């Protein structure tokens, strides 16, 4: 990817802030490829992915991949989806357990956070702990979930 950027084959997002733009985000086995809305660059990216498969012996599973346009233009999404033979995704996406969107997050986008906390609470309804023990467990375990999300976003008041 880096050589592709250096040789002008692809250009990532926000090149005005980072030379050649951000084209690759990786964490463990998850990869997000970001390119500007340009069919020639998309074709170059497809060839780079095929070269990667050929050189590494690894296979990219396009059935698990999605095309997500920041502009949310359905016709362009279809074009890129057909080019890469993958599905069209929608905003917000989850990256490292946090919702990410090309626009402002709405209250409904945070329901997964509320569900995650509720799911943790369901297992603690047993009476084996004292009130003080339950309070300590809640404070130590459940505060980490919203704090992690608040480290990136201001949560809605709701």
Question: Last residue of a domain, which of 50, 67, 90?
Answer: 90
Residues 69 and 127 in one domain: no
Does 115 lie in the same domain as 47? no
> Structure pTM?
0.70
Share of the chain above pLDDT 90, in %: 32
Give dist(CA 131, CA 133) in Å, integer: 5
Within a domain: 155 = no
Domain that holds residue 133: 100-150
- What span, in angstroms and rounded, lies between the C-alpha atoms of 115 and 120? 9
Query: How many domains are contained in the chain?
Result: 2
- From the number of C-beta atoms within 10 Å of its C-beta (0-12, 13-18, 19+), residue 74 rates as exposed
pLDDT, the chain, mean = 84
Q: How far apart are CA 4 and CA 10, in angstroms?
A: 6
Helices (H), 21-110: 39-56, 74-84
Judgement on whether residues 9 and 82 belong to the same structural domain of the protein = yes
17 or 155: whose pLDDT is higher?
A: 17
82 and 131 housed in the same domain: no
């Amino acid at each position: 990817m880096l050589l592709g950027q250096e040789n002008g084959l692809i250009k990532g997002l926000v090149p005005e802030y980072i030379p050649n733009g951000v084209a690759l985000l990786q964490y463990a086995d998850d990869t997000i490829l970001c390119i500007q809305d340009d069919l020639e660059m998309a074709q170059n990216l497809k060839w780079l992915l095929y070269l990667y498969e050929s050189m590494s012996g690894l296979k990219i599973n396009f059935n698990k991949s999605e095309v997500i346009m920041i502009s949310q233009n359905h016709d362009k999404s279809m074009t890129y989806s057909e080019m890469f033979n993958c599905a069209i995704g929608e905003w917000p996406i989850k990256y490292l357990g946090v919702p990410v969107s090309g626009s402002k997050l709405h209250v409904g986008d945070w329901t997964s956070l509320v569900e995650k906390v509720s799911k943790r609470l369901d297992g603690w309804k047993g009476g084996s702990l004292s009130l003080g023990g339950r309070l300590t467990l809640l404070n130590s375990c459940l505060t980490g979930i919203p704090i992690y999300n608040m480290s990136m976003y201001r949560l809605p008041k709701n």
